[in-house]
Amino acid sequence: MTARATDLARRLQEGCDRIVVGNDRASYAFLVALLGNGHILLEGVPGTAKTLVVRTFAALLGATFRRIQFTPDLMPADVVGTTVFNPQTIDFAFRPGPIFTSVLLADEINRTPPKTQSALLEAMEERQVTIDGESHPLPGLFIVCATQNPIEFEGTYPLPEAQLDRFFVRAKTGYPSEMQERALLARGVAGFDARDLGGAGLEVLASVDDVLSAQSAVRAVFVADALQAYLYAIVARTRTASDVALGASPRALLALLVASQAAAIIDGRTFATPDDVKAVAPLVLAHRLIIRAEAEIEGVTPERVIERILASVDVPKAEAPV
């Protein structure tokens, strides 16, 4: 099972690399979220391939895909659905919204007011939607892939802490290197069109059952007692760090555990190591920390806090299952 999950991750990564240039961090974060059965938030300035990463992976997966363009006038019912009156049956019927899909692209999620943002809370945590007191389950494979612009940009609404905590991982996208951008130019000269993924020869590489099987393999990855203590120590330090006003939650601790297991699968192992934890800790924890105002003025970032914590916590030896 582990070998199949690792092979799936490899094939998806290779498929993404055929389309996306210079966004390795985002594609790795997507794989961690997919294998860990969590949701991903991609943050970066416009034009840095955030949407393209999600569209590419959605095309590689044999799953339903829907996109919602979040705007200031978007209403919660536009996301989750609503009940409508049927004059033929003289009754109200539920009309599902676009959230009823396996892969949901919530594009520019922070351009819609908090009222609409909160429509995703129940769906992301409980994998169901409640309308007029009736619960409607979401598909077995359900991943919210949200993109957002930095909050300093005009027309954005900061995501509330409760919503940020429901994102399994967050990855920041930046400008590619000179070599990568020149490669991007060469693709453009050769006729590559990012709007036409089918024309680029992208094919479905996995089924929903393949993904669900890989997710089961992730949860079976061995995590030694010493590594569990290491995970807790890291999260606990975020709550006592002098520069942090709000540390990571117990949900974050469990996310760090599963993300470390997913990293082990991507690397082809049946057991997690401290290096797996270090690889995913910034992705899992950074968006969950609130930095004190005085520290933020001095340039302290969540990533720097996590870097200091990882350097200060004693690292256990990697243990394989007996």
pLDDT digits (tens, 9 = 90+) for 229-250: 999 999 999 999 999 999 999 9
Task: Encode pLDDT of 153-178 as tens digits.
Answer: 666 777 888 889 999 999 998 888 88
Give pLDDT, residue 153: 60
Give pLDDT, residue 210: 94
Give pLDDT, residue 322: 66
Q: Which residue, among 67, 226, 87, 237, has the nearest Cα to 146 in the 3D structure?
A: 67
Give pLDDT, residue 284: 97
Under a CB-based contact definition with an 8 Å cutoff, are residues 136 and 96 in contact? Answer: yes
Give pLDDT, residue 301: 94
Give me the CATH topology for the region 2-214.
Rossmann fold (3.40.50)
Could you give the CA distance from residue 24 to residue 33 in angstroms, rounded to a whole number? 14
**Domain ranges for the chain:** 2-214, 221-317
Give pLDDT, residue 151: 62
Give me the CATH topology for the region 221-317.
Helicase, Ruva Protein; domain 3 (1.10.8)
Ranges of residues in the chain whose predicted pLDDT is under 70:
151-155, 322
* Total-model pTM: 0.91
